[in-house]
Amino acid sequence: MARLSVNINKVATIRNARGGNVPNVLQVALDCERFGAEGITVHPRPDERHIRYSDVRELKPVLKEEFNIEGYPSEDFMSLIEEIKPAQVTLVPDAPDVLTSNAGWDTVKREAELSKIVARLRKTCRVSIFVEADCRMVEGAKACGADRVELYTESYAANYNKNKEEAIAKFVSAAKKAEEMGLGLNAGHDLSLENLQYFNSMIPNLLEVSIGHALISDALYFGLENTIQMYKRLLLK
């Protein structure tokens, strides 16, 4: 069964919109664990528009489940990873001004750069590289020395209601390639209550899903504890 890691960036966005400490990001993370989340994901950006570096430092000592930190590997970010020592770092290619992650790494063109970054960070934690569902990019991630890949699921989500069999096809191929290459497989970004169960059923070697925007949005209607349990039920094989 794939693990559910809850991305709490949106909780921090709400907090920052008003100032102060409501909602309390630390408490929400602990409650997510209490409600069944098997991991907590954050993505501290340079402008700290949602999760702040200070949040990351406060979260690490109190979390009991896996801590996954996403981000672009700037020197500041890599130093943070080396300080915090999370269970996993997920490398994303976002420029500082990007609203949200909107592409995977080109692991072929940027192999030399990524190989140095991965080698450095693997001394501290497990390293996952955010990639499109493209077998060449999966092979490239292996060449870079990564432990896992995280498949960027936007195209699957966008096409799910049009033709789910067609939408999932390249993800199945990428998943098989990851298994062949000895890479662990994660997925995230656009999975939801609507499309998660089918995705999970078609990707047998899925280890972890990281879900934030959809899950926090659903929690507005269903409550956080209930929503986490709803997502976990969809991950049952």
Catalytic residues: 43, 70, 189
Q: Find out whether 176 and 156 touch, Cβ atoms under 8 Å.
A: no
Q: Could you list the beta-strand ranges (E) of the chain.
A: 3-7, 39-42, 66-71, 88-91, 126-131, 148-152, 184-188, 206-211
Helix axes 224-234, 213-222, angle to 10 degrees: 120
* Interhelix angle 111-121/135-143, nearest 10 degrees: 50
Neighbours of 220 (CB within 10 A): 9
**23 burial level (CB within 10 Å; 0-12, 13-18, 19+):** middle
Name the maximum alpha-carbon separation found in the chain.
Answer: 48
